[in-house]
Amino acid sequence: MLKPGQTIGILGGGQLARMLALAAAPFGLRCHIFAPEADSPAFDVAYAHTIADYADEPALARFAEAVDVITYEFENVPAHTAAFLAARRPVRPDPQALAITQDRLSEKQFLTSLGLPLAPFWEINSLTDLEAALAVSGRPAVLKTRRFGYDGKGQVMIREGDDAAAALAQLGTAPAVLEGFVPFTREVSVVVARALDGRVAAYDLCENNHKNHILSQTLVPAQVDGKATELALQYAQTLASSLGYVGVMAVEMFVVGESGDEQILVNEIAPRVHNSGHWTIEGAETSQFAQHIRAVAGWPLGSASRLGRVRMDNLVGEEAEDWLVLLSDPQAHLHLYGKAEARKGRKMGHVTFVTPE
């Protein structure tokens, strides 16, 4: 168990690490950020930082020496990096959660092993595999790389008439998974925390809208049947417990079927704090960032109760130029991430609105 005054090491220096560091400070904890990019937004609010590649073992060793526990803001931490660090300091969540969730195939196999509902999937290592799978899945179906996909990158939809070989070529030679198409009505997520002592606390079900495959808006609570909502929360809690997870994670899910008969399909796990949980900063008793810090510090979780109806709008690219308008709205809670350049598709900030229920 950490004590105030001790230091949390965070791999990755983006907005998630930045908000983690801001949440750690009121507990009297220090953060040391490890990231390769010299202009990482998290550096601005952290006690210390290391600029080095994730493969730089001497830098990793010094980092481990300087901190008391290690966590990360992104799921693509190289396995070797995680193992190297875990030999020196507690890494939370455990590198096993990374290993399972970094690979879409192992993740889906894990979900299946727990009996959780998900879209049908096929392992694809060749055009033969793909053609055989498509014969069963029908079209449309979605071909995805097993690793390193995010925000719609590394996936291609195969529709009626599309050339399977061309789709496979588009992903390069990477091992892939074919997913049966899910005619979902909504995309939802559950942000859930698990403490070192095994206690689990889930935030309310989030409804997520995307633009160009990037999260655009989160509404809480999601407008989903009570029974389906219950199941979604239960699936997330089952996953956190089954992984022996310590920290905050998000489980993205699809809702299919009509109201009154809605079903939940699990899509994927993000083993970290998540964009669909940013609303918790003002909208919940304990933010997902404070919750993650509590968990990785080995402390009891805070309350995940919601404080009202919540809307979170992402500010992507030039949308952040509206900052002065948002500052002038007394209902708007503005968050900017301190990024210098508002590139197209880059998450620059978000804004949260909480309305009493």
Minimum CB–partner distance for residue 234 and its own copies (Å): 21
Token couple for 286? 């304990």
Instruction: Round to whole Å and give the CA distance between 256 and 239.
Output: 20
Nearer to its own copies, 44 or 123 (CB): 44
Q: Do 144 and 122 meet the contact criterion of CB atoms below 8 Å apart? A: no
Q: Do 171 and 143 meet the contact criterion of CB atoms below 8 Å apart? A: yes
Nearer to its own copies, 13 or 149 (CB): 13
- Could you tell me which residues come within 8 angstroms of residue 3 by beta carbon, excluding any fewer than 6 positions away? none
The per-residue DSSP string of 174-205 comes to: --EEEEE----SEEEEEEEEE-TTS-EEEPPP
Q: At what angle do helices 15-24 and 288-296 cross, to 10 degrees?
A: 70
Which residues contact its own copies by CB under 8 A? Answer: 4-5, 18, 21-22, 25-28, 30, 44-47, 285, 294, 299-300, 302-303, 320, 323-324, 327-328, 330-331, 334-340, 349
Minimum CB–partner distance for residue 208 and its own copies (Å): 22
Residue in this structure with the two tokens 């202009």, named with its chain if needed? 39
Closest CA to 124 of 59, 178, 189: 178
Nearer to its own copies, 108 or 347 (CB): 347
Please name the helix (run of DSSP H) or strand (run of DSSP E) that holds residue 154, with its range, or none: none
Q: Do 203 and 192 meet the contact criterion of CB atoms below 8 Å apart? A: yes
Minimum CB–partner distance for residue 25 and its own copies (Å): 5
Nearer to its own copies, 90 or 302 (CB): 302
Minimum CB–partner distance for residue 46 and its own copies (Å): 8
Minimum CB–partner distance for residue 338 and its own copies (Å): 5
Please name the helix (run of DSSP H) or strand (run of DSSP E) that holds residue 226, with its range, or none: helix 226-242
What type of residue sits at position 1? M
Nearer to its own copies, 53 or 285 (CB): 285
Rounded to 5 degrees, φ, ψ at 31 are: -120, 140
Nearer to its own copies, 149 or 283 (CB): 283
Nearer to its own copies, 271 or 349 (CB): 349
Nearer to its own copies, 110 or 353 (CB): 353
Minimum CB–partner distance for residue 301 and its own copies (Å): 9
Residue 299 is classified by DSSP as P
Instruction: Round to whole Å and give the CA distance between 104 and 110.
Output: 10
- Region for 16 from its dihedrals, namely left if φ exceeds 0, alpha if ψ lies in -120 to 50, beta otherwise: alpha
Minimum CB–partner distance for residue 294 and its own copies (Å): 7
Minimum CB–partner distance for residue 298 and its own copies (Å): 11
Q: Do 49 and 34 meet the contact criterion of CB atoms below 8 Å apart? A: yes
Minimum CB–partner distance for residue 303 and its own copies (Å): 4
Nearer to its own copies, 32 or 108 (CB): 32
